[in-house]
Every structure is written in C-alpha cells, then in structure tokens.
A = this chain, B = another copy of it.
C-alpha cells in the first residue's frame, strides 16, 4: 500500500488529490450517523474533516459504542463523490482506535454552532476550540500574525523581543500587575512602548508581537487583562501621517494574508473581508466632535475623548460618506495622551496622534512621540513626574533620537471585529479577565 504523505497518512484537506488511491487518515471521531442502509463516520483532523462510508456491521457496532472525540486511524479507498464534503469520501475502511475518549464531550461539536453559552465554552476551552468554527477564528488570527510580520519585514522593520518584567510602571500610571521578583517588587509590562522607542535608536524600524498586561478591573466585552499587542515603531518620520501610511499597509497586508491562506475559514465564519482604501479617510478630533454635535445634537463641549458611541457613529459615517470600514481620527487633545506624545506644532493643545477606527471600534492607537531629551524633561515636569524612574528610557534620548512614532494593534479585538463577534473573549484561546484565570 502506497501512502500519499510522508507522515504515513493523508490530511483530510489533501484527500481530494487522492481519489482512486488507498489512503489513511487520522483524527477525531467528529460524528457517527447510523442510518438504515449506510452509516457515515466524519473524521476530523487538525485541518478539516472527511466522510467515511461504513457498511460492515461489526464496525457499525464499534463506532456506535465509541464516544465522540475518540482518536481514530482510518485506512480505505478514496472515492470521488460529488455529494461528499470536499468531493471525496473513504470507502471500505479499516478502522483502528488510537486513543479512546473516556467521556463524551460536554456538547456536540458537529452542530453548526456549539449549543452552549460563552462561559461554558470558555470553561471547556480545550474541547470547545475543537469546533470547526472556533478553530477557524484562530486560523484567521495566525494568518493575521503572518501578514503583519511579512508586511513589516518587507518595509525594513526588525522584530525585537523586549522584557515583560519591568522595574517601574510603564507610563507612570496605575493598573499594573505587581510581582514578587526574587524578593523585590516588579511589574508586568503594560506595553513595550519604552523599549520599542529605545530600539528605534538601533534599528530605526522595529516591531514586536507579544503579551501585554493591564490590571484594570474592567468587565466589558472588549477588555482583557492580558492580550496580544502588535506593536511597531519607526524613525525618521515626517510626523504621525508617515506612521498612518505604514499602518495602512500593515492592515492591507494582514487582510491579503488571510484572503490567501484562509478562504475556507472565511467561508465557514461567513466573513466578508473589508477592502482597505489606498488612503484611509481621516478626520481631526475637533472636526469629528463638531460633526457629531451638529448631526446628533449631542453636547460634546469640553470632552477630551470620544465615547464608544461616538466611535460607532463615526464608523457609520465613514461607511456612508467614504465607503470605508476604516477611519483615522487624528489630533486627540494632548491632555488625554501620555507624556511622550508629540504635540501638533500648529495647535499645541492637540497632538500628532491617531486612532484607527475599524467598523466603529477603536482598533489601533498611535502617533508621533517626542524625540528631544529636553522635551522629555519638560513633559515629565509639566505632569509632575520625576525623571528618575525613567532614567533608562531617557538615556536613549540623551544620545540622539530621530523623529519617530508607532502604533499598537490588539490582535484579539482585530479578529473579533473582522468576524463580527461581540465579545473579545471568544477570539482569545484562554482569556484572562476579572473572573477568569482557568483553564
């Protein structure tokens, strides 16, 4: 018997190329349907599913007794059948149990959606994630990461790995997790902000994909206490608009990668990928406020930020007026941005910063940073912060830094918005929130 694959087995997704051959597939007992005339076994491997036609009474008895999720090896003849999923099914099987499943799963994995609520899915994550839809979300996540890195590699960015245990709270703020570091206090990094800026002095353009930690006691559908941040920072920019241009290319690159690699997942999830305009429309914070006030009558006088409702309204407006799922809001007030933010030279109460709103939700925050040592000292003094805890960070500026800026994109939020999923916990393998630390 000649096997079609060096692993000694064929992947379910490769079966279509094996019609007419003897094949072996291995995977999980996804579903067994015992019918009067002929029975069907659906076997699921890490890539897809295949249908096996079972006619032998002994095999039918065996499969009827086995719990779903039993690990099987099935060898038989691959036969083209336009009615079978993927156009090929396995006939005349030999079936071997590799690992019995001592218990049936807590819910049916073969239904179009898992018949359970989100908390149950999260409690049983190692099983729930086996459902083809749940799995497809994380395939899209992995493709997003590939597209992100590939685009930045092409743009001359260097990947860096910066520490997650830090000696002081990143931005001088609260909301950091405290750890016992071999007898002294330390903190978990809220973002790689300081480190990626320092690295501009070395590589000009850097990125990092890694966990960030926020000790915020939020309990919303869009916040997590640990999430994956896609960070980038670049030097020798003109201003924040240079960064917005790079971000536009990154988002387009992520979508191109998903389209190329994950057509099946997109179909399963019913996702229609947005197109990214060559230039994403942008609106200044003050204009956005004026527009919302004029159109909705909401009084935004004195507001220094946009509310989630404002962002939703702007998302609808961008779709209506510009035919775009993406909208940049630029120039947020300096008062609400961190100390390293670069002001707008023309209107210094506003900043050279931006948010990228994707379908009405803030997806990315970014902007130009200060780059002169003296400006840092002044910015810290103005906020009543001592420069001492920032000494290592400030050293980079003491020795010459170019104008630079960057952005941070939340991976789980990106996939959730893309898939139209309301709760970001569903696009996190093992979410960490106010109430959840397991599994």
Contacts and interface: CB of A to CB of B under 8 A. Distances in A.
Nearest to A28: B400
Contact of A429 (B160, B225, B432): B160
Interface string A396-415: 10111111000000010000
Contact of A392 (B67, B204, B215, B439): B439
Interface string A130-145: 1000010011011001
Contacts of A158: 46, 138-139, 142
A213 to B, nearest CB: 7
B177 A429 contact: no
A432 B163 contact: yes
A167 B438 contact: yes
Contacts of A110: none
Given A102-B398, A135-B202, A205-B46, A162 B429 contact: yes
Contacts of A238: 8
Contacts of A167: 437-438
Interface string A152-196: 010010111111111100000000011111101010100000010
Max chain B Cβ within 10 angstroms of own Cβ: one of A28, A124, A228: A28
Contacts of A47: 156, 204
A160 B225 CA distance: 18
Interface stretch (A83-91, A312-320, A334-342, A366-374): A366-374
A250 interface: no
Contacts of A371: 99
A42 to B, nearest CB: 14
B400 A99 contact: yes
B429 A7 contact: no
A145 B102 CA distance: 39
Contact of A11 (B29, B156, B393): B156
Interface residues of A, number: 99
Copies in the complex: 2
A300 interface: no
A396 B228 contact: no
A387 interface: no
A281 interface: no
A389 B46 CA distance: 28
A426 to B, nearest CB: 14
Given A167-B438, A177-B180, A201-B126, A70 B28 contact: no
A430 interface: yes
A119 B250 CA distance: 38
A394 to B, nearest CB: 9
B28 A165 contact: no
A297 B324 CA distance: 75
A421 interface: no
Given A130-B202, A204-B46, A399-B101, A182 B215 contact: yes
A71 B211 contact: no
A211 B213 contact: no
A146 interface: yes
A399 B44 CA distance: 14
B126 A392 contact: yes
Interface in A372-401: 372-374, 391-393, 395-396, 398-401
A179 B177 contact: yes
A398 to B, nearest CB: 5
Given A47-B156, A135-B203, A210-B211, A395 B439 contact: yes
A129 interface: yes
Contact of A181 (B373, B403, B437): B437
Contacts of A98: 402-403
8 contacts: A26-B236, A67-B399, A127-B201, A138-B158, A138-B203, A163-B226, A186-B437, A395-B439
Given A46-B205, A146-B153, A395-B439, 7 more contacts: A29-B400, A101-B398, A102-B398, A126-B202, A165-B188, A186-B437, A195-B430
